[in-house]
Structure 1
Amino acid sequence: MSLHFRTLKYNFYLCQRLTSWRNSQFKTVRKFSLSNSQGRYGDWIYSPEVSEALNAKKPVVALESTIICHGMPYPQNFETALTVENIVRENGSIPATIAILDGKINVGLTSSGLEKLAKMGQQAVKVSRRDLALTISQGLTGATTVAGTMAIAHRAGIKIFVTGGIGGVHRDGENTMDVSADLTELGRTPVTVVCAGVKSILDIEKTLEYLETQGVTVATFGDSADFPAFFTPKSGFKSPSNLPTIRECAALINANTNLELNSGILIAVPIPENEAAEAKEVHNAIESSLKGIANKGIRGKDITPYLLKRVNDITRGRSLKSNIALIKNNAMVGSQIAKCLAELGYSSKNMKEELIEKADSSSLLIIGGSSMDITSTLNPIESKNHSFYHTSSPGFVKQSAGGVGRNIAETAHKLSANPLLISAVGNDLAGCWLIENMKKIGMDTKGIEVVENQKTAIYNAINDPYGQLVCAVADMNIFDSISSENVTKFIESNKPKLVCFDGNISVECMKTILDICDKNKISTFFEPTSVPKSFKILKDQLLFSKLLTTHALTYITPNIYELKAMYYEAEKYGYFNFDNHLWFQKLDELNIGQKFRTDVERIITKHPKLLFLQNDGILVQVVNFLPYLPNIIVKLGENGILMAQALDELKSNFETKQDNKIEFVIPKRQKKGGTRFRYFEPILLDPQKHINSSGAGDSFVGALISGLMLHSDSNIDKVIDIAQKVAVMTLQSHNSVSEHINSDLLNL
């Protein structure tokens, strides 16, 4: 808990900067909505391409960076790196060049990142396993060796690693004890290394003996078991076996994984004969270079780059040409193996598929965020001159299970709607605590994925002394890990009646949900979550425009700030332009003309408290969205609820005379059905009993979708009444969802 107290001063500063959010200045908030396109997870940075591939279980090939900085000069190193990455892509896999940039582990580099390393050359630290912690702690830039790359690739979930050649036992190693860390890494890390064997400057015979001692499976790819010598296809030594086909290589890796041997595999790929350097020329160059090592005092990790450069100089570039050729060949073979392995599956049963097969069928799926909530509530100000800013202040700090999707799911669970939550947490203390917390109250956790090398989401809120939110910091990057493929499997497996999703998930995931639910006639429900996240549903213009005809998005529950922000964003995309003929046609069918305006004026005259609906533009914003979204339920905070529906059929049994509801209905023009607006007054609450705003809106949504599941949509008015009561219960609780919510509340 002390960690969160230490961030308090910084949060007060953010409060001062974000006060405008509280005053409805949504344009200012939009400045804070920039997404992290690189996929930052703590000290790890995944490129968008690699992140998407790992989430979708596409084949990924790791590439080392030492070969860029210490293997060849600029610009050949940069050009080769780009070419190798393209070869990997062309053969059906995604390249993930691994390096450390400014103390951050990068899994996948942009073109600019590759060029930065290429130009640094030997100024970049050469990073093996032993150097990882030091390089990161000092914020240095480093190029990873075979051992360093393997260690990172394994933790990133990458099974295949392509390089030029591995290190080994140096000549006279029995006396110097100079043995590359690559060999011990292969003995303890279950990553397959595809390479052109061992560099010919080393003692190949002793290297193969050492690999046997480490329990490493060694095989030559092709028709022969001849073990290659980097620049040449034959070293004079044999591998224990040879694998003639790509599929046999993938099958070997699959078997190694299923046996849980936890050791690596070395697949040696001989350089093509037409690209090989003359063996005698290379041998003579190596012998000549070795004589200079002792005289120059070169030792340790500096020996290999020195020898490679010296051999290249002696052979007048022919060895470098062969070096580049063999790397390209290895990339082609390694990528094909990775693709085949993905088709076989990393193991006989993918863990996610097992979870889905075991999951009980649920009619209600909730897809979204689960987080640890840290809520800080300030004590009342004792002096008018006292300021909370730039100092520590007394208050109450509460840690609770949170996250919009999780809060909605907990509410639905307590109301006996049998929800299944699909979400993601990190493999850390917060993630373990969240899962245990959900299990403790009986929630189904089969849909919660534990993601390696990512941290659990944190929502850190500051409340004023009266429980009103002043500002909050939300670290939610992990939810990009909720993949479209995983969501599709859960929907197809459960065949739910309703799928609810929040704004934390990716645009691609939202698109998948709407597409599959539209095809299967499944109702959908979108909770926008926050102003910045509410924009996501609008970003795919083809998707949103299709809603005019499909109405694939059945329900949406924005608050007034989210609605306003979405409205102006939609205007920017041209969704409300009059030359958008289909939208204008649908709007015209709603028959919202002069009579509507007259009815509004009449109702406001009778109920002056509703003037804000007109003055704040809320009615106009809702009307413009109705052709796209048939059921818009606006959370007005302390002012109640506004519901707008574009109905195919107008029922005669609407409850129009209840005191806490104000309603007007407009028949469609020349068609069945019509538009229905209904206002629900707020439930009054003593301000002293208002403890916490976080989670109240989520509780409302959880109760609403539960009511829609357990009762027909014709009872939506009564369900909204209950949902308001449930939200008020959470307002009076220190938890994100009130502990007093129970299934008896949904008895109509």
Structure 2
Amino acid sequence: MNNTIINILFATIIICGGILISISGGSYLFKNEINEIIKFFKTNSVMNYEKEKDNFIELIEMSDEVKNAMKQQLPIVALESTIISHGLPYPDNENVANEIENIIRENGAVPATIGIVEGKIHVGMSKDLISQFSQRKGIEKVSVRDISGVIAKKQWGATTVAATSRIASMVGIKVFVTGGLGGVHRNAEVTMDISADLIELGSNPICVVSAGPKIILDVNKTVEYLETQSVSVYGYRTTTLPQFYVPNSNIHIPSINETSTIAEIINWNRKLHINKGILVTVPIPKEDALELDQVNKWINAALKEAEIHHIEGKATTPFLLNYLNTHTNSQTVRANVALIKNNAKVGASIAYELSLLTNSPNEDTLNEEVTPSKIVVIGASVIDFISKAEVLPEVSVEGTVNQNRGGVGHNIAENLHRIGNDILFISTIGNDLLGKMLKQYFKDIKMKTNALVESEFATPVYSGVINTSGQLTAGVIDSRALKGMKVQNIQQFKNEISNAEYVIMDTNFGLDIIKEALKYAKGKIWIEPTGETSLKILNEEVMSRIDYFSPNNFEIGWLSKKLGYKGGVCDGDNIDECIKMAELFINRGIKTLIVKLSAAGCLLVEKRNGQLYSKEYPAFGVDLIVDVHGAGDAFSASTISALSRGEPIDRAIYYGLAGATFSLQTEKTVNEKITYELLTQLVKEKSHIEL
């Protein structure tokens, strides 16, 4: 049955049912019968809608980046493709398209350039596809009326504002950035030439961010038409309507100063089912703006040329813009590029703010009782493949290969969980077999999984080779999935981060992730460096926030050289060098350093009463070292666990040494037997301190 007919019948049943229930005096049995009929029609209507929706999605080719953003509920910004095919010459069109996409990424959102390639709608384009689009001749300019024809003929099509708005709305994208809006053409009272852009804005719940209507149009009539279509028009930090190349006009509009407010408006439209568009107009930056009088002279000349050459319909705008380009020494092109880049920043910010309002909990959050965590760990999850053999150069040798769960963040998080701390682990995994196995394992040991972010890439894998003494000889890591962690993922857990007593971060994620977490953290900050990725913490803003920093002797040596240190090496035989290096970090704002010295134990360095204080801690003796992997992470986790229970740092470090000892006695990166009680017992045996 046709879905529209079902919906009409459904509405009729509801109305008639309500009347009959009223006549019957609200009879319980009669109400039940009517409700069953309503339920039947409602179910069939929904089923048909979902089927149509599924069929539509099959027609769409989404880029991996957009697909992942949809899955993770990340902010997405739609972009049209006519600026590539019809707006700029090659190679400017390709360069500008890539620059705009990068601006959107830099401002926290995912770009989705929309176009049609060989009859297939693309939402999101790779760099290669953008390059093809930039160079290809004869691409059709596609409005809504043209979409089906271009698909049927398997042609290439560049989407206008109208077509982009329609397609973006169909796939659920709420924000669309463009340069200038189409509108009511001059002399429209004679030609009836009104852009479909306006009609689509009145028909689709999308926020279009532009520099206002193109100044070649009748701007006053355009605003009137938008009002007739119930489209809200706002000025971003302006009280008058921008006119594309010109930042202002004599048309007054409501002004909004914050992108978060615009996001609120979009969200309220969604909640109230107001399926109308919103136009956000952003003035071109003053330094790039053109003079109104001069622009009007150019436009009048262009209009005369168009009339002479009988240019009309959808050919009018490209003709006028091309005329302006060639007769203004490219001033209008430069202005066009500047304004769309500016619009991209604003649009990305709106999409980002909107994502914070509309992101819903994932399935794990709904099915899992989540309690506030005293400790938040932000770091990498990796599957470790550890090969053990007597290694010989350029020769394959017999040995053993073990698979373990790893990653510094994971190792610390699981250790803390097993020791008995309440933790939230924020990390990335791939949407693959290894990712599913890792997630299921966390569930099996009762670790929270609601903060695991699925990346478009495979779950990170580390492949290490150790010799028969358990010492690492080589290692390789595939860490592409770590790019899946975005600042908005951190934003989702800002309350948990804010309420945590300790926020632990490894340095596998980007500096933007670390800074975002620091923005919300009110408790103690512990940074666990991870080799060369730790270079990013040499940032004044970051270092001033770190309470505990726990590098090994190689990491502190490498980082110290980056800070200009000219001394010797740091190891168990050169403690003075280690102290000098640590002082570099203390002087830059880090409060406490715990330098791991492998078999020599560790070194504590901090300021006490204004003086530099240091203390060496020898390692606990171990009869047999099975594997060194994870020992440093177990040390940090056990130290943190003791600190969280009120132990001072001098005593907490003994718990760290005990944790490392447990780790050294297993092939697994986390000793599954570790508990706080066993740590306490070992500390009593090995340290001789009173507990």
CA 1:466–1:257: 2 relative to 1, 3 Å: farther
CA 1:230–1:534: 2 relative to 1, 3 Å: same
User: Equivalent residues in 2 for 1:223-238 (5 A)?
Assistant: none
Q: 1:571 aligns to what SS in structure 2?
A: coil
Which one of the candidate residues 72, 82, 88 is aligned to 2:88? 72
- Equivalent residue for 2:120? 130
Alpha-carbon deviations, 1:478-511, whole Å to 9, x = none? Answer: 5563539937963676533333222224445555
Q: 2:564 aligns to what SS in structure 1?
A: helix
| C-alpha distance in structure 1 between counterparts of 2:324 and 2:542, whole Å | 61
| C-alpha distance in structure 2 between counterparts of 1:402 and 1:171, whole Å | 49
- Equivalent residue for 1:189? 171
> 1:60, 1:94 within 8 Å by CA — same for their partners in 2?
no
Query: Identity of aligned pairs, percent?
Result: 22
- Equivalent residue for 2:463? 460
1:675 aligned to 2:613? yes
CA 1:685–1:375: 2 relative to 1, 3 Å: farther
Q: 1:707 aligns to what SS in structure 2?
A: helix
Amino acid at match of 1:633: I
1:633 aligned to 2:609? no
Please report the TM-score for the alignment, with normalisation by the length of structure 2: 0.59
**How far did 1:622 drift?**
4.5
Q: Which moves more between the two structures, 59-68 or 404-413? A: 59-68
1:472 aligned to 2:472? no
1:540 aligned to 2:539? yes
Which one of the candidate residues 553, 564, 568 is aligned to 1:560? 553
CA 1:340–1:414: 2 relative to 1, 3 Å: closer
- Equivalent residue for 1:526? 527
Which one of the candidate residues 703, 707, 710 is aligned to 2:638? 703
Q: How many residues align?
A: 550
> 2:404, 2:669 within 8 Å by CA — same for their partners in 1?
yes
**How far did 1:739 drift?**
1.7
**How far did 1:415 drift?**
0.6
Which one of the candidate residues 537, 541, 564 is aligned to 1:571? 564
- Equivalent residue for 2:676? 743
CA 1:173–1:735: 2 relative to 1, 3 Å: closer
Q: 1:196 aligns to what SS in structure 2?
A: coil
**How far did 1:305 drift?**
9.6
Which one of the candidate residues 504, 512, 518 is aligned to 2:508? 504
**How far did 1:703 drift?**
1.0
| C-alpha distance in structure 2 between counterparts of 1:475 and 1:83, whole Å | 28
**How far did 1:706 drift?**
0.5
1:443 aligned to 2:485? no
> 1:633, 1:641 within 8 Å by CA — same for their partners in 2?
yes
Amino acid at match of 1:535: L
> 1:196, 1:269 within 8 Å by CA — same for their partners in 2?
no
**How far did 1:561 drift?**
0.9
- Equivalent residue for 1:414? 418
**Does 1 or 2 have the higher relative contact order (CA < 8 Å, sep 6+)?**
1
1:373 aligned to 2:376? no
> 2:639, 2:654 within 8 Å by CA — same for their partners in 1?
no
> 2:117, 2:156 within 8 Å by CA — same for their partners in 1?
no
**How far did 1:705 drift?**
0.7
- Equivalent residue for 1:582? none
| C-alpha distance in structure 2 between counterparts of 1:485 and 1:171, whole Å | 35
| C-alpha distance in structure 1 between counterparts of 2:618 and 2:563, whole Å | 26
1:241 aligned to 2:226? no
| C-alpha distance in structure 2 between counterparts of 1:634 and 1:175, whole Å | 63
1:254 aligned to 2:257? no
CA 1:326–1:252: 2 relative to 1, 3 Å: farther
**How far did 1:540 drift?**
2.0
Which one of the candidate residues 713, 718, 735 is aligned to 2:648? 713
- Equivalent residue for 1:647? 608
Alpha-carbon deviations, 1:343-396, whole Å to 9, x = none? Answer: 6x34744448997999532222323x2222232314446xxxxx452x655544
| C-alpha distance in structure 2 between counterparts of 1:684 and 1:137, whole Å | 54
- Equivalent residue for 1:579? none
Q: 2:677 aligns to what SS in structure 1?
A: helix
> 1:289, 1:311 within 8 Å by CA — same for their partners in 2?
no
- Equivalent residue for 1:169? 145
- Equivalent residue for 1:613? 573
| C-alpha distance in structure 1 between counterparts of 2:562 and 2:525, whole Å | 22
Amino acid at match of 2:172: P
CA 1:230–1:63: 2 relative to 1, 3 Å: farther
| C-alpha distance in structure 1 between counterparts of 2:390 and 2:513, whole Å | 43
Unaligned runs of 5+ in 2: 1-62, 186-190, 235-255, 284-291, 681-690
> 1:484, 1:508 within 8 Å by CA — same for their partners in 2?
no
> 1:374, 1:461 within 8 Å by CA — same for their partners in 2?
yes
1:727 aligned to 2:687? no
1:402 aligned to 2:392? no
| C-alpha distance in structure 1 between counterparts of 2:563 and 2:87, whole Å | 52
Alpha-carbon deviations, 1:39-64, whole Å to 9, x = none? Answer: xxx9869xxxxx9xxx999x985545
**How far did 1:402 drift?**
2.0
CA 1:332–1:419: 2 relative to 1, 3 Å: closer
Q: 1:410 aligns to what SS in structure 2?
A: helix
Amino acid at match of 1:435: K
**How far did 1:169 drift?**
3.5
**How far did 1:633 drift?**
2.6
**How far did 1:168 drift?**
4.2
Amino acid at match of 1:728: T
> 1:220, 1:267 within 8 Å by CA — same for their partners in 2?
yes
- Equivalent residue for 2:3? none
Amino acid at match of 2:473: V
CA 1:281–1:709: 2 relative to 1, 3 Å: same
User: Equivalent residues in 2 for 1:93-104 (5 A)?
Assistant: none
CA 1:65–1:675: 2 relative to 1, 3 Å: same
| C-alpha distance in structure 1 between counterparts of 2:146 and 2:660, whole Å | 70
1:483 aligned to 2:483? no
Q: Which moves more between the two structures, 400-409 or 239-248? A: 239-248
**How far did 1:253 drift?**
4.4
Amino acid at match of 1:377: S
Alpha-carbon deviations, 1:424-465, whole Å to 9, x = none? Answer: 4455554444333222211123443445x4554433323334
Q: Which moves more between the two structures, 730-739 or 619-628? A: 619-628
Q: 2:413 aligns to what SS in structure 1?
A: helix
- Equivalent residue for 1:18? none
Superposition RMSD on alpha carbons, in Å? 6.2
CA 1:230–1:270: 2 relative to 1, 3 Å: farther
| C-alpha distance in structure 2 between counterparts of 1:620 and 1:568, whole Å | 12
